[in-house]
């Protein structure tokens, strides 16, 4: 076989008959016609204008170094722009200018090098193609044989195949050793909590006032006019510290709406859950948990912007479109002595996305 | 450049380059590599550069990402923002969000690097996708490259994981809702779901752990895996040598193209700078992920048009396409098929993609090494399968923007969803048949051209009064490009040594019939001679 | 606007034009002469009987077909008694009314009346029953707290209108319109009146000062273009993804073709 490092302008067709032997292998269901065309060999080399015309060559050379100089200019400009366009004025426009001019300088610096180098390669470097000879990936027969021998000797010397009891006990030990590592990952979540327990309860309890998100101002029933939508959090949520506040809010967020009572189709066992057309529903989608907050006051549809599930507020938020299955859980509400809206209890079912243990 | 180690005294006149390279080589033995690789040929075709786009954008991601780590703080502790951006002043948010805002507004050039990082990430995954399509449609996954296809595929998955973890780090409203969806999907898994979510988030969603955990994955584990796999992947390209298209002088046993030194180095090196330049240009002029609009994550608000970055879109779209009601309580447990079905469908799709090279090899039974890239038309069934897969993916992908399609084309979102449901199911079948017919038609046209030449457009009148168009015959080089491919025939079922026809054999024969029933063989010398002789009879 | 409203669209499209022309012929001449004077007068004394009378004439010429001669409502349009001046100023001032064609929702179009005429219509309707008034200048001129406004906007508005006010889709072909280039007055009026399917945000839900803050935020993001450069419509990751595929990868593929093309 020919040497691997065929180089430069040598344009010889490979010795195909020899190669065919080396690459022998089943052709499967391929059809190899006996009178197939044979490779005509390389086309004659076609010179470029820059090879023949010294003027064109000069011009190409000029283009290349101009591009490299432009790149230098871009780098200098980027540094200058960094200083010329400060952003410490608290002004968004200044950031915009800084970003744009520093960026354009860097872009010019990079594109100058790129276009210059490629143009150099295309128009000025010798255009002849090189030829590599491929060898079968498997290597020569001798190499393969050698590798097999090494493995056999190693097996012989260690007794890996022979001493089955040692081998099998080692395999057993290796299988067992990652298990403690898996168990360690239990520590990713707190040891003293159970997810199902946490998912089943929210901050809402009997008498908890409905308050405005984010201010926490309590809401009177009379505030909620027909056609309104109030984004609601439980009273006391803002007193929690940041981390647990978000966790509680992720379960307790509620949307409060008032419809004309005649438009509400309430189940008999739930008529006491609303107050004069005012209804409160969990804002957390029963599909995968996005906030369902797009309320259409005339159609009474609620839409989830993430996966387009639609819920009909007039019919206990049953699903009318989209991938969700369960209606949004309703929060039973009442009015306290001072006229403020309060919860009658927690939600009667877990809110948010479905989970395995939910039933 | 290449100076072999030498014991003999140095020649009288030595250049500095020679001396320096000898110094280096005496200590590293690099001459072997340069001698071995420097003149290697790299076949030239525009589509062979797509993998490099991915590689070079990954380098941007590494460099710009390192810069960002100097300023980003992966903590979910709460602070009141006190930076330059007025509409967020005094707002309570996590340190992660505040530090990302500081990178954007209070560090000169920080926004540029952040935008470069994100744009390059989108480009990275897009380039991998396009590169995979090229490899698929040219059959460059065939022996001996099947395993490298698998490595490349794993890189694609890792790239998506890198992207998603990075997208979630600023702890803004958009990415927080993205994590919310991940939480919902985890919870929907049977048996392990609830606990997976609980462990992943370190307690209840959203918790205070997730950003720190994703950061470790994003800057340590995943990049290490990506770098290692890129090394393996590119290493195999050197071992296998690049495929090439059929052409005069191109044999299965050689590899023809510009040598690595100097032309390929100039072109590829220049190309690297060009990609960096294009990404810089985009980052300088186009906003990406304006977290200052989204604000800090809060479980109550959400924005219209909440979508993941494009490469996760197909999964989000799959969730959107499920009709209502696919969730049941059975055996006192909740079975969320509205989440499981999309996951299983995507899982099967992904499995088919990664296994395709092995399936095709099994059907063909062809054990030869293949170094000549197929023209897509010369493998009609494969190309048609690819088109079907692309249509399926595109349907899911489009579904992730169903709301934007509805508003921009004045359609109803319900109509868009129903149409996409149909496209995802019927579209691949239609795409399959159309593509297959188009491939076969193109192959027929090639045969026609080989047999009768190009239509020259020149009409001549024969002495007998007949008008004919003169056909320009092909030269042998052009002809070779059109005829040098293998066609395959359907497998004949034969009893095995024990006289039985196994089920596996029967299945393979069925698959083989499906693949190769319609086939157009390349023109042979005999056919060409026959065609010429009939033409002369005219 | 619900089902009953949609039927209004059945009118011949030219009918609106004819009605409008008629109205302009009757009233236009007088206003052209008095224009500057009445403008100042109307501001100073918005509910003067003359304004209301002019508004009534305009109403009967242009709106009564659907809403009834006394704005009591008909089968094709709801009663306007008690909707307030804010509602009329929003609906007519943004061109949504008079409605031109049937559709999922009334479309915004160039207003068909002068500001003057809009005010007259508004005060005529306001005189029929108490309702939200056109907001005072200090509530809509953007002098509030943008940070508070931004937070309230995210909680109450962004799910439909998008965090950057770019608009978004609703059910059955309806949509929440973009808020860019909408005046502060109209945004305020939309919040208090809840046009179309938008919920009402009364002063106990979002106080007038909070509304001012929301308007301040919207004006801030309108006056301060994105620091990162062109916004691509502020549509988020979908626009970014399309951009990188079409323009980013498109440019790079063009470069690969150039790199590998044989130079002549």
| Token reading at A87 | 């952003």
Contact A297 C194 (CB under 8 A): yes
Is the model more confident about C18 or about C182? Answer: C182
Contact B302 A290 (CB under 8 A): yes
Contact A229 C258 (CB under 8 A): no
DSSP lists the bridge partners of residue A132 as B255
Residue B109 φ/ψ region, left for φ over 0, alpha for ψ in the -120 to 50 degree band, beta for the rest = left
Per-residue pLDDT averaged across A136-143, rounded?
Answer: 90
- Residues A99-119 pLDDT 10s: 999 999 999 999 999 999 999
Contact A29 B413 (CB under 8 A): no
pLDDT at C82 over 80: yes
Residue C264 pLDDT grade (very low, low, confident, very high; cuts 50, 70, 90):
confident
pLDDT at C12 (0 to 100): 55
Cβ-in-10-Å burial (0-12, 13-18, 19+) of A52 comes to: exposed
| Mean pLDDT estimate for chain B | 93
pLDDT at C36 (0 to 100): 36
pLDDT at A4 (0 to 100): 36
Share above pLDDT 90 across residues of chain B, in percent, rounded to a whole number: 82
User: CA of B236, closest CA in chain A: separation in Å?
Assistant: 10
Contact C227 A95 (CB under 8 A): yes
pTM of the model: 0.91
pLDDT at B423 over 70: yes
User: How many C-beta atoms lie closer than 10 Å to residue B303's C-beta?
Assistant: 26
Residue A45 pLDDT grade (very low, low, confident, very high; cuts 50, 70, 90):
confident
| Token reading at C262 | 């044989």
- Residues A178-213 pLDDT 10s: 999 999 999 999 999 999 999 999 999 999 999 999
Nearest CA in chain B to A124: B263
pLDDT at B11 (0 to 100): 53
| Token reading at B456 | 């020259």
Residue A126 pLDDT grade (very low, low, confident, very high; cuts 50, 70, 90):
confident
ipTM for the complex shown = 0.93
Residue listed under structure tokens 């049977």 = B190
User: Which of A271, A278, A256, A261 minimizes the C-alpha distance to A204?
Assistant: A256
Is the distance from CB of C188 to CB of C140 less than 8 angstroms? yes
pLDDT at C161 over 50: yes
User: Which of B139, B141, B379, B373 minimizes the C-alpha distance to B252?
Assistant: B373
pLDDT at C100 (0 to 100): 73
pLDDT at C29 (0 to 100): 40
pLDDT at B340 (0 to 100): 96
Q: What is the bridge-based pairing of β-strands B372-373 and B244-245?
A: parallel
pLDDT at B535 (0 to 100): 66
Count of pairs with CB atoms under 8 A, one residue in A, one in B: 422
Per-residue pLDDT averaged across B312-321, rounded?
Answer: 96
Nearest CA in chain B to C254: B46
Distance CA C140, CA C214 (A): 9
| Token reading at A340 | 């403020």
Residue A22 pLDDT grade (very low, low, confident, very high; cuts 50, 70, 90):
low
Residue C60 pLDDT grade (very low, low, confident, very high; cuts 50, 70, 90):
confident
pLDDT at C18 over 80: no
Handedness of CA A148, A151, A156, A157 (dihedral sign): positive
Per-residue pLDDT averaged across B438-452, rounded?
Answer: 95
pLDDT at C64 (0 to 100): 86
Contact A7 B259 (CB under 8 A): yes
Distance CA A239, CA A38 (A): 84
Distance CA C200, CA A331 (A): 21
- In angstroms, how far apart are the furthest CA atoms of chain A? 101
Contact B305 C162 (CB under 8 A): yes
Residue C196 φ/ψ region, left for φ over 0, alpha for ψ in the -120 to 50 degree band, beta for the rest = left
Per-residue pLDDT averaged across A2-11, rounded?
Answer: 35
Per-residue pLDDT averaged across C11-36, rounded?
Answer: 46
* Least confident among A155-159, C112-116, C182-186, C240-244: C112-116
Is the model more confident about C36 or about B275? Answer: B275
| Token reading at B190 | 């049977």
Per-residue pLDDT averaged across A224-228, rounded?
Answer: 92
CA dihedral B10, B14, B17, B18 (to 10 degrees): -30
- Residues B165-212 pLDDT 10s: 999 999 999 999 999 999 999 999 999 999 999 999 999 999 999 999
User: Which of A305, A297, A261 minimizes the C-alpha distance to A279?
Assistant: A261
Cβ-in-10-Å burial (0-12, 13-18, 19+) of C243 comes to: buried
Residue C16 pLDDT grade (very low, low, confident, very high; cuts 50, 70, 90):
low
Nearest CA in chain C to B313: C238
Is the model more confident about A1 or about B238? Answer: B238
User: CA of A168, closest CA in chain B: separation in Å?
Assistant: 29
Angle between helices B173-187 and B146-168 (to 10 degrees): 120
Residue among A92, A220, A298 minimizing CB distance to C2: A298
Helices (H), A24-140: 49-52, 54-84, 92-123
pLDDT at A248 (0 to 100): 95
User: How many C-beta atoms lie closer than 10 Å to residue B495's C-beta?
Assistant: 10
Phi, psi at residue B146, to the nearest 5°?
A: -60, -40
Per-residue pLDDT averaged across C168-188, rounded?
Answer: 93
User: Which of A315, A139, A97, C197 minimizes the C-alpha distance to B112?
Assistant: A97
Residue C25 pLDDT grade (very low, low, confident, very high; cuts 50, 70, 90):
very low
User: CA of A356, closest CA in chain C: separation in Å?
Assistant: 29
What's the Cα-to-Cα distance from A43 to each of A39, A47, B41, B475, rounded to whole Å? 11, 12, 17, 11
Handedness of CA B179, B181, B187, B193 (dihedral sign): negative
- Residues B10-62 pLDDT 10s: 555 778 988 998 899 999 988 888 888 888 899 999 999 999 999 999 999 99
pLDDT at A9 (0 to 100): 33
C-alpha radius of gyration, chain B, whole number: 29
Helix (H) or strand (E) holding B69: helix B50-69
pLDDT at B79 (0 to 100): 95
Distance CA A134, CA A117 (A): 29
Neighbouring chains of B at 3+ CB pairs under 8 Å are A, C
Is the distance from CB of A205 to CB of A345 less than 8 angstroms? yes
* Least confident among A65-69, B129-133, B416-420, C124-128: C124-128
What's the Cα-to-Cα distance from A243 to each of A249, B93, B202, rounded to whole Å? 10, 10, 12
DSSP lists the bridge partners of residue A296 as A301
User: How many C-beta atoms lie closer than 10 Å to residue B121's C-beta?
Assistant: 25
pLDDT at A15 over 70: no
């Amino acid at each position: 076989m020919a040497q691997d490092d065929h180089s430069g302008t040598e344009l010889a067709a490979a010795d195909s008959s020899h190669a065919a032997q080396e690459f022998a292998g089943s052709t499967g269901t391929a059809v190899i016609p006996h009178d197939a065309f044979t490779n005509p060999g390389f086309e004659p080399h076609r010179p470029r204008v820059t090879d023949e015309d010294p003027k064109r060559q000069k011009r190409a050379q000029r283009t290349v170094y101009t591009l490299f100089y432009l790149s230098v200019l871009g780098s200098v400009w980027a540094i200058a722009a960094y200083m010329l366009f400060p952003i410490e004025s608290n002004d968004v426009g200044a950031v915009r200018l800084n970003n744009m001019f520093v960026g354009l300088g860097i872009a010019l610096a990079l594109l100058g090098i790129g276009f210059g180098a490629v143009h150099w390669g295309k128009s000025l470097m010798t255009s002849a193609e090189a030829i590599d000879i491929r060898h079968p990936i498997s290597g020569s027969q001798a190499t393969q044989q050698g590798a097999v021998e090494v493995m056999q000797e190693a097996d012989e010397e260690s007794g890996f195949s022979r001493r089955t009891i040692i081998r099998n006990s080692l395999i057993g030990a290796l299988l067992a050793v990652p298990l403690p590592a898996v168990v360690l990952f239990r520590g990713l979540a707190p040891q003293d909590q159970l997810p199902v327990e946490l998912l089943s309860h929210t901050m809402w309890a009997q008498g908890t006032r409905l308050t405005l998100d984010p201010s926490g101002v309590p809401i009177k029933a009379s505030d909620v006019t027909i056609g309104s939508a109030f984004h609601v959090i439980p009273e006391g949520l803002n007193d929690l510290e940041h981390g647990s506040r978000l966790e509680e809010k992720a379960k307790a967020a509620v949307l409060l709406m008032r419809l004309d009572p005649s438009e509400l189709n309430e189940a008999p066992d739930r008529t006491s859950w609303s107050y004069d057309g005012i209804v409160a529903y969990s804002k957390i989608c029963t599909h995968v948990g996005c906030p369902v907050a797009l309320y259409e006051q005339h159609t009474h549809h609620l839409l989830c912007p993430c996966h387009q599930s639609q819920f009909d507020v007039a019919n206990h938020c049953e699903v009318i479109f989209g991938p969700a299955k369960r209606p949004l859980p309703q929060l039973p509400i009442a009015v306290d002595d001072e006229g403020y809206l309060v919860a009658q209890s927690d939600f009667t079912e877990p809110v948010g996305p479905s989970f395995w243990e939910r039933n | 450049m290449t100076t072999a180690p030498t014991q003999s005294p140095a020649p009288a006149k030595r250049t500095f380059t020679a001396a320096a390279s000898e110094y280096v080589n005496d200590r590293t033995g690099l001459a072997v590599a340069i001698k071995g690789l420097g003149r290697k040929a790299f076949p030239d075709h525009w589509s062979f550069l797509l993998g490099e786009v991915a590689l070079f954008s990954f380098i941007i991601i590494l460099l710009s990402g390192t810069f960002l780590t100097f300023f980003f703080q992966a903590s979910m502790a709460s602070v009141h923002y006190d930076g330059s951006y007025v509409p967020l002043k005094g707002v309570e948010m996590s340190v992660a969000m505040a530090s990302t805002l500081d990178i954007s507004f209070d560090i000169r050039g920080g926004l540029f690097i952040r935008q470069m990082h994100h744009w390059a990430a989108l480009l990275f995954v897009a380039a991998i996708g396009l590169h995979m399509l090229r490899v698929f449609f040219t059959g460059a996954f065939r022996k001996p490259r099947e395993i490298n296809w698998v490595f490349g595929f794993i890189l694609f998955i890792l790239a998506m994981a890198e992207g998603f973890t990075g997208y979630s780090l600023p702890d803004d409203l958009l990415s927080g809702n993205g994590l919310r969806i991940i939480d919902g999907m985890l919870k929907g898994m049977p048996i392990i779901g609830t606990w997976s979510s609980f462990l992943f988030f370190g307690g209840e969603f959203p918790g205070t752990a997730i950003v720190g955990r994703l950061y470790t994955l994003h800057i340590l584990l995943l990049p290490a895996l990506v770098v290692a796999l890129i090394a393996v992947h590119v290493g195999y390209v050197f071992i296998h040598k690049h495929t090439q298209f059929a052409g005069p002088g191109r044999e299965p046993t050689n590899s023809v193209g510009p040598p690595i030194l100097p032309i390929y180095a100039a072109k590829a090196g220049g190309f690297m700078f060009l990609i960096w330049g294009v990404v810089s240009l985009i980052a300088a002029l186009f906003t990406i992920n304006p977290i200052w609009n989204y604000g800090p994550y809060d479980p109550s608000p959400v924005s219209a048009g909440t979508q993941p970055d494009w490469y996760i879109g197909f999964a989000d779209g799959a969730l959107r396409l499920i009709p209502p009601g696919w969730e049941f309580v059975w055996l006192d447990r909740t079975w969320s098929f509205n989440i499981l079905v999309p996951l299983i469908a995507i899982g099967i799709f992904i499995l088919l993609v990664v296994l395709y090279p092995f399936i095709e090899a099994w059907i063909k039974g062809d054990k030869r090494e293949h170094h000549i890239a197929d023209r897509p038309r010369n493998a009609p069934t494969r190309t048609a399968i690819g088109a079907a897969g692309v249509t399926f993916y595109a349907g899911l992908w489009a579904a992730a923007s169903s709301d934007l399609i509805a508003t921009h084309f004045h359609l109803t979102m319900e109509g868009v969803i129903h149409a996409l449901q149909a496209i995802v199911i019927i579209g691949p079948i239609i795409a399959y048949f159309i593509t297959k017919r188009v491939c076969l038609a193109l192959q027929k046209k090639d045969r026609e051209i080989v047999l009768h030449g190009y239509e020259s457009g020149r009409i001549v009148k024969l002495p007998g009064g007949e008008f004919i168009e003169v056909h320009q015959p092909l030269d042998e080089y052009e002809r070779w490009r059109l005829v040098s491919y293998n066609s395959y025939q359907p497998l004949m079922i034969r009893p095995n040594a024990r006289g039985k026809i196994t089920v596996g054999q029967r299945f393979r024969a069925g698959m083989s019939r499906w693949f190769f029933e319609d086939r157009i063989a390349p023109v042979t010398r005999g056919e060409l001679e026959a065609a010429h002789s009939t033409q002369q009879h005219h | 606007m619900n089902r009953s409203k949609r039927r209004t669209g059945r009118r011949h499209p030219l009918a609106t034009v004819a009605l409008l022309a008629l109205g302009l012929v009757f009233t236009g001449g007088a206003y052209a002469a008095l224009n500057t004077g009445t403008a100042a007068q109307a501001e100073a004394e918005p509910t003067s009987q003359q304004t209301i009378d002019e508004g009534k004439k305009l109403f009967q010429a242009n709106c009564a077909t659907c809403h009834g001669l006394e704005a009591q409502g008909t089968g094709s349009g709801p009663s306007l008694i008690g909707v307030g001046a804010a509602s009329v100023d929003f609906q007519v001032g943004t061109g949504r009314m008079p409605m031109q064609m049937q559709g999922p929702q009334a479309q915004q179009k160039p207003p068909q009346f002068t500001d003057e005429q809009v005010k007259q219509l508004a005060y005529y309707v306001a005189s029929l029953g108490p309702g939200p008034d056109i907001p005072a200048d200090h509530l809509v001129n953007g002098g509030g707290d943008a940070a508070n406004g931004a937070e309230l906007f995210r909680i109450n508005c962004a799910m439909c209108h998008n965090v950057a006010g770019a608009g978004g889709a609703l059910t059955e072909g309806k949509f929440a319109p973009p808020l860019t280039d909408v005046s502060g007055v109209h945004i305020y009026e939309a919040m208090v009146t809840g046009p179309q399917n938008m919920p009402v945000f009364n002063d106990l839900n979002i106080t007038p000062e909070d509304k001012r803050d929301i308007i301040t935020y919207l004006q801030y993001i309108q006056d301060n273009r994105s620091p990162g450069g062109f916004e691509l419509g502020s549509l988020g990751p979908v626009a970014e993804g399309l951009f990188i595929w079409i323009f980013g990868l498109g440019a790079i593929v063009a470069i690969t073709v150039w790199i590998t093309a044989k130079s002549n």
